[in-house]
Amino acid sequence: MRKIIIDTDPGQDDAVAILLALASPQELDLLGITAVAGNVPLELTAKNARIVCELAGRADVPVHAGCDRPLSHDLVTAEHVHGRSGLDGPTLPDPGMALRDAHGVDFIIETLRREPPGTVTLCALGPLTNLATAFRRAPDICARVQQIVLMGGAYFQVGNITPAAEFNIYVDPDAAAIVFGSGISITVLPLDVTHKALTTRARVEAFRALGTPVGRAVAEWTDFFERFDKEKYGSEGAPLHDPCVIAWLLWPELFSGRFINVEIETVSPLTRGMTVADWWRVTDRAPNATFIGDIDAQAFFDRLTERLARLAPQGAR
Ligand code: RIB
Ligand code: CA
């Protein structure tokens, strides 16, 4: 059993990642969710995280609102991909569950100080503002983090929001530099691997064929947000970015990568947020992250679909 905190900016793909975690209680103990500004403003990411928990019948999961803007840049959002609500696609009810009182950063700090050292993994699915703010405000917690597993960055796939940078890192490059310089064990799921986890019609129809509210919502989220990637990349489907983070925790054997040095561009406006990954080890910079490059995509989708099937309303079949 691994204790995790999910830091997230839902976002349809974040939503699927949260559902996968909630569908895996044997392996993952979700201590709480911290929302961060990213795909859409904080008020919406904090609302969407609760919508997803209630869709899974888990209104008990602590959801905390975190930072509403990057450390030093203006917020850049991605409504062009995720829609104005951030969860466009299905029509889902507004959340009944309330946000918890503590700020998301305080929740991260307090949880890490409470739990035994080395027993909590941070799963970051959005800009790294909350994690970086927690590490700056409470440096003592860095040694207590078991591991950070994050979706962000790119090397061979280069950028998706600029020619040089992936969205999560681009939005808050200063926060990313703090996280990658923290000395904590980090596993990165960059575009290099998430662009191999593409939805296809058959994979989306397998979600819909579950015949449950979760299956329908995941299919309709995918129907909505894949239009952006299909237009841009001419691909058959869209990359399911964030669920790769949870899938790596559950089934690391489906992935491969390298332990390399990754630095973040924080100065140049042209390449802001670029993850300068020393994949070919051409420098003597010390490795600081396991950078994932490959996935068994069919096994990923088969296992994801099987797990989502478990999130059925009580007694429904
Ligand atoms: O670049 C993809 C990442 O940016 C994903 O986490 C997506 O949800 C957005 O946050
Ligand atoms: Ca995200």
CATH number for the domain that contains residue 274: 3.90.245.10
Q: Indicate whether 315 pLDDT > 60.
A: no
Q: For residue 8, how far is its CA from the centre of ligand 1 (angstroms)?
A: 9
Cα gap 16→21, rounded to integer Å: 9
Q: Indicate whether 157 pLDDT > 80.
A: yes
pLDDT tens profile 107-143:
999 999 999 999 999 999 999 999 999 999 999 999 9
Residue 120, strand partner residues: 3, 145
Cα gap 234→249, rounded to integer Å: 30
User: Residue 115 is part of which domain span?
Assistant: 2-311
Is residue 317 in a domain?
Answer: no
Is residue 221 in a domain?
Answer: yes
Residue 149, strand partner residues: 123, 187
Kindly list the protein residues whose Cβ atom lies closer than 6 A to any atom of ligand 1.
9, 11, 13-14, 38-39, 125-126, 151, 160, 166-168, 241-242
For 222, the enclosing helix (H) or strand (E) is: helix 213-233
Is residue 316 in a domain?
Answer: no
Q: Indicate whether 189 pLDDT > 70.
A: yes
Is 0.85 surpassed by the pTM of this model? yes
Is residue 66 in a domain?
Answer: yes
Of residues 73, 82, 195, 241, which has the active-site annotation?
241
Q: How many domains are contained in the chain?
A: 1
pLDDT tens profile 303-313:
999 999 999 87
Per-residue DSSP letters for 53-106? Answer: HHHTT-TTS-EEE--SS-SSS-----HHHH-SSSS-SS--PPP-SPPPSS-HHH
pLDDT band at residue 235, thresholds of 50, 70 and 90? confident
Two tokens, residue 140: 């003592």
